[in-house]
Structure 1
Amino acid sequence: MAVFPVKYVHSGMRGAPVVSGTPGSRIGAIDAFLLTGFGAVTAQRVTVAGGIATATLQAGQSFEPHTVIAVAGATPDALNGEARVLTATPSQITFATAAADGPASGTITIKVAPVGHWTKVFAGTNKAVYRSTHPKASGFYLRVDDSADTYMRVRGFESMSDIDNGTGPFPTDAQIAGGGYWVVAARPGNEVVNWDFAADARFFAAAWAPDAGGHISAPLRGFGDLLPRAPAGDVWAVGLSCLSDANSNGIYAGGLSAPGGGTPGRGLYLPRSYTGQGSSRLSYTASYCGGGDISGGDNQPLGPAPNPVDGSIEFCRLFARAGAAYHFGPRADLPGVLYCPQGGLKDIFSPRDSVTGSGPLAGRRLVMLPAYSYWGQTNGFYAIDTTGPWRED
């Protein structure tokens, strides 16, 4: 069966891990997405006709359309592997297959597929270290400390010897003592918050919406290999987007979907300069289509969306600057996230609405996520490419 380069999941899916202002709950969600999958069920029946498999499930055990699933235990074997859900009812899903027409046999299990090519190198109480195992990955490490109520502490390393020790940290203690912050919840306790994850084999992006009262603002953070501009390559083009403190009112600052900088210490940290010299560098992000405000928000250079001339809603890529100032040019493009240089998206979309791209984005499903400068309001939307591929290799 086909292999799908990008996976996307969210907290509203059946069986998705619950995230709240509770220590340890966020690592469980990351594990399920990157490593194990979730929502496993046993199919009651699977039949194939004309290249389409229909799986009958118990009522309420279905999967959302577009979800990448992992099928196992089926005969013929051509049914096993990854597939994308084409259609769904409460008790049935369909997906494309190369298997011959007819009924399948075996104990057939279906679950939301994990990303794959990621491993948990070290684990401790409410701590984890993740690393991409893709053969072309930089192989750098993401350390997560999920011991606090409303936030996680995050830091990248060039190498690590155990759960707490490594070399080549980014950010360094001089930049942010103890590492960066991912703010997950506005308040401690069991109030459930929304989250959306997207990843390929080399980059993991997480959009946490701290306000448990709704899916209001979900700034994008992430870790992994960027898309370097240097013709000879840039092994140090590995980014960790984070905050410099646990203040949820500044959660959008320095996010992957937020052009500019302007807030000291908040942004994208890379392990070294593109020359390979030095240590951790702070970078600011920018979009290729101009605009320094919130994606899809007010004061955008291309006016309100949609364009009255052709009905289009425009998107463009974002990039990491070669330094933490506006005069630095692009060092690397950001995988998967798209910026809208038009305004008024809050009047067009709701969280997790999707559109199908055209032109360079033809055939790609773009999922819209809400943004603002603090967690209590929506002023714009950015898009995640949930189809991919995000990179050529």
Structure 2
Amino acid sequence: MPADTTVKYFHSGLTGAPVLSGTAGALINVLDACLVNGFAVSAVASLVVAGGVATATVSAGHSAEVGSVVLVSGATPSGLNGEKKVLTVGGGNTTLTFDATGIADQTATGSISLKLAGAGWVKAFSGTNLAAYKSGNVAATACLLRVDDTGGKTARCVGYETMTAISTGAGPFPTSVQRSGGTWWTKSTVADGSARPWVLVADDRTVYLLTTYHPTYPAGGAIMAFGDLAPVKSGDAWSCVLSGYASDKSAAAPGDNNDYATMALVTGELYLARPYTAVGGSAVAYKAFPLLVPSASTTITSGQGPMPYPNGPDSGLYLTPLNIFETVFNALRGVSPGIWCTPQLLPLGLFSSGAKIAAADNLLARDLRVVPVGAGTAGTFAFFDTTGPWR
């Protein structure tokens, strides 16, 4: 069976990746490239199929790494076109391979190119350093993410149930009463063109963004999210969530209750499009993940829980889903897809940013990418399933 290609993993270290900085429009450039357009177009010198595996030679080099999803176009036979998950990468990034099951051994013809594929979102509306993004999946809630990137160090984000223009929409979450101007997404400590590392993981309905915005803390960062949950109730049309920060934290050290990988029984910066009753507008939510041992704490970041690491009997690493609860009713609305947390106490430096692990002890046969969260002064990590699909 061909590998799933619905999950896309990007980071600022990829050749040709857009630069995130403290300048207006920089975040939109990252979101455009990763969610919508893809990036790093490369001409393919040859594309050869042998034994059900296609090998692309890119003389000038390409930007993909193992596990990346590339979009191939211009090839004959047509079965070689479309999204492909990269199996191997050759020295100097001049070759890559992908599954070509069912295609006879041959050398493809045509003017062939490839690029890192976008995550399948649509840029529904735009303005000067303004953008509104919407899932391209017809099964999605159809809520939109409006990004106001006119500032330098931060952007302001609001979810909408519907929009008819870049500054006209209905059903905002948060509302202007809950958070005037929207929640904050942090880009940089300074309003200049200094590049800041970032990681973006998405499928075509949910996106997670981590920005290493503070150069004093290069081993962590702020983690934000927007998109559809995997709801507990089938057909929940309003189970779209937006997370961010309650204020401009660009001058502060990373790490607080609003980090998306932190469970906290507090009113954090987390909003759902509507309550589960579907009556009324924006509903405040909170995050939680199961604890495998009792704990009196209500605020725990993934990797700083009460369960020992490694687990004694099997030396195991155990991961849990990130559950989203509606605050007023303490009602479980759903699971945030693709992201996993741990209730274990992990040591500082256990994983480097972007580390790939083949599986956790209770999550077998799933490739996971590790992303440090917070200031990087403790073993706080979020884990992202890059095998897919998330739903």
Would the TM-score normalized by the shorter structure come out above 0.5? Answer: yes
Q: Give the conservation status (yes or no) of the 8 Å contact 1:198–1:204.
A: yes
Cα distance, 1:261 vs structure 2: 4.6
Match of 1:38 in 2: 39
Cα distance, 1:233 vs structure 2: 3.3
1:177-256 to structure 2, matched below 5 A, reads 177-212=180-215, 215-230=218-233, 232-248=234-250, 249=252, 252-256=256-260
Q: Residues 136, 215 of structure 1: CA spacing in aligned structure 2 closer, same or farther, 3 A cutoff? A: same
The alignment's C-alpha RMSD in Å is 2.0
2:107 aligned with 1:103: yes
Deviations 1:113-138 (CA, angstroms, capped at 9, x unpaired)? 1111x211111000001111311111
1:64-83 to structure 2, matched below 5 A, reads 64-83=65-84
State the one-letter code of the partner of 2:310. P
Q: Matches of 1:115 and 1:149 in 2, distance apart?
A: 26
Q: Matches of 1:129 and 1:272 in 2, distance apart?
A: 19
1:214-363 to structure 2, matched below 5 A, reads 215-230=218-233, 232-248=234-250, 249=252, 252-262=256-266, 266-289=268-291, 292-297=299-304, 300-303=305-308, 305-323=309-327, 328-357=330-359, 361-363=363-365
Match of 2:366 in 1: 364
Q: Matches of 1:252 and 1:84 in 2, distance apart?
A: 35
Q: Matches of 1:111 and 1:301 in 2, distance apart?
A: 43
% of aligned pairs identical?
Answer: 36
State the one-letter code of the partner of 1:257. A
Find the residue that maps to 1:8 and give its secondary structure: strand
Match of 1:9 in 2: 10
Q: Matches of 2:67 and 2:370 in 1, distance apart?
A: 15
Moved more, 120-129 or 340-349: 340-349
Q: Matches of 1:181 and 1:328 in 2, distance apart?
A: 25
Cα distance, 1:289 vs structure 2: 2.8
Q: Give the conservation status (yes or no) of the 8 Å contact 1:268–1:320.
A: no
Cα distance, 1:251 vs structure 2: 5.0
Deviations 1:247-284 (CA, angstroms, capped at 9, x unpaired)? 2336542232111154x5x3210121100112211111
TM-score scaled to structure 2, two decimals?
Answer: 0.92
Gaps of 5+ in 1: none
Find the residue that maps to 2:29 and give its secondary structure: helix
Q: Residues 121, 59 of structure 1: CA spacing in aligned structure 2 closer, same or farther, 3 A cutoff? A: closer
State the one-letter code of the partner of 2:243. S
Q: Residues 361, 85 of structure 1: CA spacing in aligned structure 2 closer, same or farther, 3 A cutoff? A: same
Q: Residues 109, 223 of structure 1: CA spacing in aligned structure 2 closer, same or farther, 3 A cutoff? A: same
Gaps of 5+ in 2: none
Match of 2:132 in 1: 129
Match of 1:86 in 2: 87
Q: Give the conservation status (yes or no) of the 8 Å contact 1:254–1:284.
A: no
Q: Residues 185, 377 of structure 1: CA spacing in aligned structure 2 closer, same or farther, 3 A cutoff? A: farther
Cα distance, 1:376 vs structure 2: 6.7
Cα distance, 1:365 vs structure 2: 1.2
2:53 aligned with 1:52: yes
Q: Residues 376, 95 of structure 1: CA spacing in aligned structure 2 closer, same or farther, 3 A cutoff? A: closer
Q: Give the conservation status (yes or no) of the 8 Å contact 2:261–2:382.
A: yes
Cα distance, 1:369 vs structure 2: 0.6
Could you tell me which of 152, 157, 160 is aligned with 2:160? 157
Deviations 1:2-44 (CA, angstroms, capped at 9, x unpaired)? 6512111111111111111111011011011111111110011
Could you tell me which of 127, 142, 147 is aligned with 1:144? 147
Cα distance, 1:301 vs structure 2: 1.9
State the one-letter code of the partner of 1:273. P
TM-score scaled to structure 1, two decimals?
Answer: 0.91
Q: Residues 52, 189 of structure 1: CA spacing in aligned structure 2 closer, same or farther, 3 A cutoff? A: same
State the one-letter code of the partner of 1:189. D
Find the residue that maps to 1:82 and give its secondary structure: strand
Q: Matches of 1:285 and 1:261 in 2, distance apart?
A: 7
Q: Matches of 1:77 and 1:191 in 2, distance apart?
A: 42
The number of equivalent residue pairs is: 380
Find the residue that maps to 2:302 and give its secondary structure: coil
Q: Residues 159, 61 of structure 1: CA spacing in aligned structure 2 closer, same or farther, 3 A cutoff? A: closer
Cα distance, 1:60 vs structure 2: 3.8
State the one-letter code of the partner of 1:302. M
Deviations 1:230-254 (CA, angstroms, capped at 9, x unpaired)? 3x53211110001121123365422
Cα distance, 1:362 vs structure 2: 2.5
State the one-letter code of the partner of 1:348. L
Find the residue that maps to 1:34 and give its secondary structure: helix
Q: Give the conservation status (yes or no) of the 8 Å contact 1:215–1:351.
A: no
Cα distance, 1:390 vs structure 2: 1.2
